[in-house]
Amino acid sequence: MHETGISEALLFSPDNELVREIAEELPGVWALYWANPHRHDAADEARAHWPDELDTWYRHPDWAAIPRGETLQQVLTRAVAALREVIRHHPDDTIVLVAHDSVNRVLLLHALELPLSRYWRFKQNPCCINELDLSADGFTILGINQTDHLRQAK
């Protein structure tokens, strides 16, 4: 790991073999998995089968309910429950959560006390870093969608 002072990390990830292998090989890393029924062609399938629902997803994501998917309210409930559990076990530690953009977005909205209707207001590039600090007064956002580290990796 980089010299960040991070002694433990949580991988919050779809249940797949690669993530399991990474979690098993890195000391101080533990993983929280969820079943991910989505495939790479999920957006095309949704567009073909549920065009109205997909339109709602892009215009009013807080109202969307695409079949075989979670609503944003369900994602928020699951993600905040996991975040609370991690914070409860590591109240004074630096924590790394690795998640998909939807989980990132709903957690950022939660941290900023904004409604889920603002979902599309945050850009989330692949492999971006969002940095938050939690104090007794709530969350402070230190950075959103940081990608400078990706330039260094090229």
Contact 80, 110 (CB under 8 A): yes
- The pTM assigned to this predicted structure is 0.72
Crossing angle for the helix pair 42-49 and 51-59, nearest 10 degrees?
110
Contact 23, 31 (CB under 8 A): yes
Residue 112 lies in a domain: yes
If you average pLDDT over every residue of the chain, what do you get? 77
Cα 82 → chain centroid: 11
Confidence band of 106 (pLDDT split at 50, 70, 90): very high
Sequence letter at residue 61: P
List all residues 6 or more positions away from 99 whose beta carbon is below 8 Å from its beta carbon.
12, 13, 79, 107
At residue 70, φ and ψ (nearest 5 deg) are -90, 150
Tell me which of 45 and 124 has the higher pLDDT. 124
Same domain, 53 and 81: no
What is the extent of the structural domain holding 96?
A: 9-36+72-153
Same domain, 27 and 100: yes
Number of structural domains (the chain) is 2
DSSP string, 107-130: HHHHHTT--GGGGGGS---TT-EE
